[in-house]
Structure 1
């Protein structure tokens, strides 16, 4: 047997060939992407068969990665949170303008349609489940750092907090009752920019009440 044949048959310690592992990773990513789109439009009860078709994989492949609906929903939420966190880290590392860094983070969250996905978690998962808790805290810490830098630079008004930004992103990306998702999406970027303009310092108005905190938002959970 030639060396090329031997190399082609070589597998990793867990018995998975490198090519097989790469294909599995690509399939998983395609499934998560298709599921996110389906959940945004149809909610957590979206057809798993349709998700598999949209991902270009068979049902068996979907179930091999995600044995049931809850594991798929959980996987989508973790993937979305991970992407938002990565975009926030990139903005902090690459952007010299503090307000532009915050803007990049906000639009990263908006692109993931986080407001449309969050309702799926209500009563479905334990908010303190370790993976979900760690992912959430990572994003919250990064958002807090982006806001802090903007405020220290005098570019973000000082009377807002992470909770205010979280509420706004959630509301601006949540589908309206009786409105087709695709119809509202064309206006999201416009409305997010209006919101961002309202964050700029110096503030042109005095906000009622106090900055929303994440603790207050979770009081009833």
Structure 2
């Protein structure tokens, strides 16, 4: 792909992610084209239809989340800061808002994400283990608990503007992180979620991430 065509493609994917988060499933290709600063014809040169564009958005988002987990684990000397960096960075991708948009391509996305899912699970498990071993994370929290909570904390409320709520996300994430710290001040009911639980969920739904 020529350099200018590659830049256009990247701009379209970035603009589409923002538009899907802001407007949800109703966003039009016209809105995405305007945001990217390209014409509709340019979008169709790169993407056959809207489901294909959404698929590429999700693949790009998951790529960044995987890289974020691995870099937080490798670069942060403080175990809990590695967890905080991952949680805030993953939340910035607004996975919860994107997961609300269910398309015919989701099953295909899930199949393409197998290697990325393994890398993500391995990195998040290591982050959690490291924080727990350091005595900074309560022992009854599992990596699955974190992977379930993240989309919920970034999911827009019905009939509200997504971007208007964005200013509260970091605030609520800090409340969530405080609840993860050791020593625990309560007893959690039930058992923590496992990655196997999340895999069973994926086999019964078309949502590509937990």
Question: CA 1:41/1:135 → structure 2, altered by over 3 Å: closer, same or farther?
Answer: same
- 1:99 maps to what in 2? 80
Report runs of 4+ in structure 1 exceeding 6 Å deviation. none
CA shift digits 1:115-164 (9 cap, x unpaired)? 11112247642167432222233222221111111111111111111211
- What is the root-mean-square deviation of aligned Cα atoms in Å? 1.8
| Alpha-carbon contact 1:44-1:73 (below 8 Å) kept | no
| Alpha-carbon contact 2:13-2:57 (below 8 Å) kept | yes
TM-score calculated relative to the size of structure 2: 0.89
Residues 96-135 of structure 1 mapped to structure 2, 5 A cutoff:
96-121=77-102, 124-126=105-107, 129-135=110-116
Moved more, 148-157 or 70-79: 148-157
Structure 2 CA distance for aligned equivalents of residues 64 and 56 of structure 1: 15
CA shift digits 1:13-43 (9 cap, x unpaired)? xxx6xxxx22222111111111011111222
Structure 1 CA distance for aligned equivalents of residues 136 and 99 of structure 2: 29
* 1:137 maps to 2:149: no
* 1:78 maps to 2:54: no
3-state SS of the aligned residue for 1:204?
Answer: coil
Task: Give the structure, 1 or 2, with the largest relative contact order (CA under 8 Å, sep 6 or more).
Answer: 2
TM-score calculated relative to the size of structure 1: 0.85
- Number of aligned positions between the proteins: 202
Question: CA 1:129/1:203 → structure 2, altered by over 3 Å: closer, same or farther?
Answer: closer
3-state SS of the aligned residue for 1:212?
Answer: coil
